Amino acid sequence: MSTDWFTTSPVWSAKGDDHKSILLSTRNNLNPIPDVTLPDIIEKSTNFPIEFPTESVRCRQLLKNKIPEVVLEKNINSTYPVIHEHALYLCSIFLNHQVKHGNRTFYQNMSLLDFIDRLLSKRAVSFVGVRDLYMLLDGSKGVGNWESIGSGNEAPPLVLEKYLSYDEIRLSALLSVSSHTCFVNDGNRRNEGVFEEDRKKVEEDGVIIGNN
């Protein structure tokens, strides 16, 4: 297998309406994203439709554990997606292909940044197993039929407007998210999300990166 793909930078072509124009499109909103406040995040977290698996890592609980509000807000606003330059190029190829040969109506006005945002925001809560067991944001569960998304046979709730297609799921696996964070414990395999009261036993904070 060739290893050239990760030893050299991708070449962004300059022809017509292809990859370079997608990268440099004025539809990519480059304005700074305004910071959010801790109360905003706590409200959104409270209203999130799916139950959190553990309470100890939620901001409202970290506040009770005497993590300063200014620290939590710094962590929140440090969050950003991380993607390799070759994966970004692959996303531009996907968008270009969809506009030319795929679901043109859906993708034609989508910028590259819009697409990256879509890869983060249009996921199922869970999607696992050889039979494609899934849970959606409304709490409903199902098995299979995910391949219908984006096709002429799609039907609610599995529609492209709300959820990623199979191909998009593959691309989303190449995307990570990073931020500063507070560590609730030492991270051992049996930590169970329990907040370590003796803060001298753990690192207080650090930087994490993860994907789906």
How far is it, in rounded angstroms, from Cα 122 to Cα 161?
Answer: 8
- Flag whether pLDDT at 151 surpasses 80: yes
- Flag whether pLDDT at 4 surpasses 70: no
Mean pLDDT value across residues 154-178: 96
How far is it, in rounded angstroms, from Cα 113 to Cα 24?
Answer: 10
Question: Using one digit for the tens of pLDDT, what is the confidence trace for 70-110?
Answer: 999 999 999 999 999 889 989 989 998 998 899 999 999 89
Q: Furthest-apart CA pair in the chain: how many Å?
A: 61
- Flag whether pLDDT at 119 surpasses 60: yes
pLDDT band at 23 (very low <50, low <70, confident <90, very high): low
